[in-house]
Each structure stands twice: as structure tokens, then as C-alpha cells.
Amino acid sequence: MFHRVLPGYSDSKSGQTGDYQMKIGYYSLDEYEKLVKSFHGSLAPGLLIGGFMVDLAQKNLPQGEFFDTICETSSCLPDAVQLLTPCSTGNGWMKVIDFGRFAISFYEKKTGEGIRVFLDLDKLKNCSEVYSWFMKLKPKREQDSNLLMNQIKEAGAEILSIRKIRIDPALFEKKKGGASAVCPVCKEAYPAGHGDKCRNCAGESPYLEVAEM
Amino acid sequence: MFHRVLPGYSDSKSGQTGDYQMKIGYYSLDEYEKLVKSFHGSLAPGLLIGGFMVDLAQKNLPQGEFFDTICETSSCLPDAVQLLTPCSTGNGWMKVIDFGRFAISFYEKKTGEGIRVFLDLDKLKNCSEVYSWFMKLKPKREQDSNLLMNQIKEAGAEILSIRKIRIDPALFEKKKGGASAVCPVCKEAYPAGHGDKCRNCAGESPYLEVAEM
């Protein structure tokens, strides 16, 4: 199972002696919690569920093979994927599509075949606090954060479902070999395929002002 | 200066005794290299330049304040940002816009004011291998990888330029309080604001097949 070999990372199993003996990927729950806090800023409920989602997926995929990933929401899930798999935003093996569905898919790049794991509403009947968090039924200040996290930990993979999926392998294929050009307006390099100017100078700029310092 | 407190991460300065005494953010070059390999898979040239870009930005921003980030390419740079700042894809503090320009901006969320750092073509005159890599003038197998990495390390921030920028603070503002709905087709939760069906079921699905396991 993939795990990040982080600088100075200790392989000791000391983290596994907490309240919960369960593991998320290579990590004990304690270790995963530390990793998440360091990377994401806080142990958001979505990161905890996301950890169980990646873990469930990995248990249902052949070991030693490599899978690209799709997150169907930009909230939380991408960070669970980035911490527990080799996929990241910058290496292109993780894509985010903004459907707002709480789901992650893993697929083999050449065949497009894989699995999809999602938080299953039908399985939340015994997790009232998870249900109300997930469906946004209460403002954050009214949430019982301890109850929410405990329900998630106790449920683990039980609130998740898994499906076989197939995508068109061409869908997220990396376009290789595109030439670079120099934008006549900003003088920066950009993909020539974008047109005769870079997208920024062609009208999509997010900048109201750019000035020398 | 922000640094990720990774599990078991050692604060020893042993990593600083390599060929290059320079630092990238909190890390020695050796430490940054290990971190990048663990997270991104390999020390791509873009991650090394990206490290110097984030470092230069941080040296030009007030300490102790928080800045959101924009990467103007999805290649490599997002991972430098995610490793060296508190911003990640999953926490929403890093946005990626697909301009294919090698640039990162840091901005204060409320005012939209900040700085933009970019790889400056005009400064690559003495870095022939960096220039030909950046402009994609040679196929990868013809690149001199050692020369490329050494030129990047030797140049450090000298091949970068920095500008003051201002964006419209509303541009990337997180829409809060959107209600969730249950999609009548897939029965999964999705943001009600997306319409009467989730985007997947409204025709944007990347899946050719979804099947029970």
C-alpha cells in the first residue's frame, strides 16, 4: 500500500495504541490525523471520511498497480487523495471535477476501468450528526463536533458504497508535445495551442492591476 | 515562515550540509528535494523552480499574515505551493487557473492585494538548458538533466521576476451556505444551486459505465 515517505518519518507503530486500532492506508488514525493537520490545516470531517474512502478503494484495487484519481468535489477530498496516494494536483494524476458529490474514483489510465467510492446517504440512518453535517442542515456553530467525529470514526467504511466504473481513457489524457510561444502582450511563455495571445492577455485575466515593485 | 510539521519530521539541520547552502522556505535544498520526491514522485525541474518562486514570494510578503494563492498552470507549481505554504487544493486556499503561464500569485483575501512571481524569459540568457526546457525546444530524451538542474540551482531566484498585483476579492470568494439537495437520478447529495439534478446526471458525467460490484 502506498505511503508517503516523508522526511524523518518514523515507521514506529506507536501511533496505533490510541482509542481506535483502525488504520487509514498505511497510517494509524493518530498518524493520519497529524498528517492531515499539517497538510490541510485541521482535521475536517471531510478529510476523515475521505481517508476511509481512499482506504476502502485501495483495499478493492489490485496491489502494485497504479491508478489515476478523480475527486467529484474540490472540498476536502483532494487532500485525502494527495496524502494517501501518489496522485497530486501538480503531477496531474488527480483531477477535480466540480460536481459537489462526495465521491472519489480510481481508474487505470489505459483502460479507463476502476472503482468509485462515495458517501452513501442510505447508510447514514444511524449517524444523525454525520447526516446533518453532510446535508448542511445546521449552521457550523450548532454542530456537535465531537459527536460528528466519533460517529465518523465508529462508522469507518460502513457509510460508504463502492461501484465499478469505466471512463473514456481519452477524457483526461495529457496532451503532450504542445509547443510554447511567447505572448506578444505580456512577453511570457504560454502554450501555443491557446491562440495568438495567452489566455490572460486574451481577456481572462484575474488581475485588476499588475505593477512594478 | 510556514513549514509543514510532518509526522516525525526532524528539525535537525543536517540537510544543510550539501553542495548548496541555499534554502527553500524553511527547508534546506536536500530536505526540500526529499519532500518533493515523496509528494510529487520526482524532483521535476518545475518543482525546483517552483520552490524558489514560493521562497521569493514569502521573502517579499509580510511575515505572519496569511495569503491565498493562484497557480497559473496546473503543472508542477501547485505542488510547490502545497508543500511550502498552508494552501492546498482541498482547503481551497490554492486556486489553479489553466493559463499555462509559469507564475504564482499570493493575495490577501479581503483586499485582493498581493504579489505575482514568474519565470522571466528575459533572465534566461545565461541558462540555455533552462530556456530550452521551458520553451520545449528539445524532446525530453535530448535534455541534459544534470545541467538543467544545476543551472536552476545556481540561478535560484535570479531567473524570476516579481510584480505587485491586485485581484477582485470577489473573484474566488467561497460561496457559503448553499443548501444540499438529493439528486432524483443518482440519489446522491449535491449542491442545490447546481440545478434540479446533479451535474453528473445533468449530462456532464465522465463515466461510461457505473455498475454494482
pLDDT digits (tens, 9 = 90+) for A19-38: 446 899 889 999 999 999 99
How far apart CA B25 and CA B36 sit, in angstroms, is: 13
Nearest CA in chain B to A82: B39
Is the confidence at residue B12, as pLDDT, over 90?
no
Q: Return the minimum-mean-pLDDT range out of A19-23, A78-82, A200-204.
A: A19-23
Residues on chain A touching B140 (C-beta within 8 angstroms): none
How far apart CA A34 and CA A49 sit, in angstroms, is: 15
- The pLDDT, as a whole number, for residue B66 is 93
Q: Do A188 and B82 touch (CB under 8 A)?
A: no
Is the confidence at residue B4, as pLDDT, over 80?
no
pLDDT tens-digit readout, B93-133: 999 999 999 999 999 999 999 999 999 999 998 999 999 99
Please give the distance of CA A163 from its chain centroid, rounded to a whole number: 18
Q: Do A79 and B88 touch (CB under 8 A)?
A: yes
Q: Do B7 and A31 touch (CB under 8 A)?
A: yes
Domain spans of chain A, in order of start: 19-172, 178-213
The arithmetic mean of pLDDT across residues A193-201, rounded, is 97
Is the confidence at residue B18, as pLDDT, over 90?
no
Out of B10, B72, B180, name the one closest to residue A136 (CB).
B180
Residues on chain A touching B40 (C-beta within 8 angstroms): 88, 90-91
> B88, B115, B172: best mutation site toward chain A, by most A Cβ within 10 Å?
B88
Q: Do A178 and B136 touch (CB under 8 A)?
A: yes
Q: Kindly list the strands in the beta sheet with A68-71, ordered across the sheet, starting from the edge strand earlier in the chain.
A: A94-96, A68-71, A103-107, A113-119, A160-167, B207-212
Q: Do A116 and B75 touch (CB under 8 A)?
A: no
Q: Buried b vs exposed e over A179-196: b needs ≥16 C-beta within 10 Å?
A: ebbebeebebbbbeebee
Q: Do B10 and A6 touch (CB under 8 A)?
A: no
A165, HSE (Cβ side, Cα atoms, 13 Å): 27
Residues on chain A touching B198 (C-beta within 8 angstroms): 99-101
Q: Do A88 and B76 touch (CB under 8 A)?
A: no
How far apart CA B95 and CA B105 sit, in angstroms, is: 10
How far apart CA A95 and CA A152 sit, in angstroms, is: 25
The arithmetic mean of pLDDT across residues A152-175, rounded, is 93
Is the confidence at residue B60, as pLDDT, over 50?
yes
How far apart CA B108 and CA B102 sit, in angstroms, is: 21
Query: Exposure of B133 by Cβ count < 10 A (0-12 exposed, 13-18 middle, 19+ buried)?
Result: buried
How far apart CA A123 and CA A108 sit, in angstroms, is: 28
Given the C-alpha cell 463502492, which residue does it identify?
Answer: A162
CA distance to partner chain A, nearest, from residue B9 (Å): 5
ipTM value for the complex: 0.90
Q: What is the fold, at CATH topology level, of the domain defined by A178-213?
A: Wheat Germ Agglutinin (Isolectin 2); domain 1 (3.30.60)
Is the separation of the CB atoms in B96 and A89 below 8 Å? yes
Query: What's the pTM value of the predicted model, to 2 decimals?
Result: 0.90
Is the confidence at residue A175, as pLDDT, over 80?
no
Given the C-alpha cell 524569459, which residue does it identify?
Answer: B121
- The pLDDT, as a whole number, for residue B22 is 80
- The pLDDT, as a whole number, for residue A10 is 41
How far apart CA A177 and CA A99 sit, in angstroms, is: 30
The helix-helix angle for A77-84 and A45-59 (nearest 10°) equals 50
Give chain A's end-to-end CA distance (angstroms, integer): 48
Round the average pLDDT of chain B to a whole number and report it.
90
Q: Do B100 and A191 touch (CB under 8 A)?
A: yes
Is the separation of the CB atoms in B81 and B71 below 8 Å? yes
Is the separation of the CB atoms in B53 and B104 below 8 Å? yes
Query: Exposure of A79 by Cβ count < 10 A (0-12 exposed, 13-18 middle, 19+ buried)?
Result: buried
Query: pLDDT band at residue B3, thresholds of 50, 70 and 90?
Result: low
**Candidate CATH numbers 1.10.1740.10, 2.40.160.50, 3.30.1330.130, 3.30.70.100; the one for domain B19-172:** 3.30.1330.130
> B24, B37, B99: best mutation site toward chain A, by most A Cβ within 10 Å?
B99
